[in-house]
């Protein structure tokens, strides 16, 4: 969590966009482009994404308008890894990611990496939108990935 003003808390989704690992030249982006980012297990882990500029806007809104509490700063469409990873590979014009079993994923990403790929659950931005009057410019990760 990241502290903002008056005890508010912002919980950010997976960042993408300029200066992040999911941007041209970024580590994850380049791993996907080179076919080195595999789909682990069933890819059922659900990620919530947020463009870095949208995260900044939400933070400003929380400081200016937020009340004490927690805000999930994410886009409108949490997505399973099995959906967003192949979509990112397609956007980059590279081959579909290779699927590997959990035990192989554990060798390269550890248990935390396997959980991220197979078990985590996305978040809702409803409270942030309702209470902060904030709307992400990139409503869904597909729009943001395409813009990158």
Question: Residue 75, Cβ neighbours under 10 Å: how many?
Answer: 26
Short-list 32, 66, 63, 62, CA closest to 148:
32
What is the mean pLDDT for each group of 10 consecutive residues in the chain (148 residues)?
54 95 92 94 97 96 85 97 96 94 93 95 96 95 89
Domains annotated on the chain, with CATH: 2-141 (3.40.50.720)
CA quadruple 53, 135, 58, 90: dihedral, nearest 10: -40
The pLDDT of residue 117 is 96
Whole-model pTM: value is 0.88
SS3 24: coil
């Amino acid at each position: 969590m990241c502290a903002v003003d008056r005890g508010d808390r912002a919980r950010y989704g997976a960042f993408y966009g300029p200066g992040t690992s999911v941007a041209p030249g970024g580590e994850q982006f380049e791993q996907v482009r080179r076919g080195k980012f595999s789909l682990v297990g069933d890819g059922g882990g659900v990620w919530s994404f947020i463009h870095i500029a949208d995260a900044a806007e939400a933070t400003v809104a929380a400081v200016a308008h937020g009340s004490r509490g927690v805000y999930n700063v994410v886009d409108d469409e949490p997505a399973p890894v099995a959906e967003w990873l192949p979509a990112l590979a397609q956007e980059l014009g590279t081959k579909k990611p290779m699927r590997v079993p959990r035990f192989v994923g554990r060798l390269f990403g550890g248990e935390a990496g396997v959980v991220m790929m197979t078990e985590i659950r996305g978040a809702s931005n409803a409270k942030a939108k309702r209470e902060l009057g904030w709307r992400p410019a990139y409503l869904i990760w597909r729009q943001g990935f395409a813009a990158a």
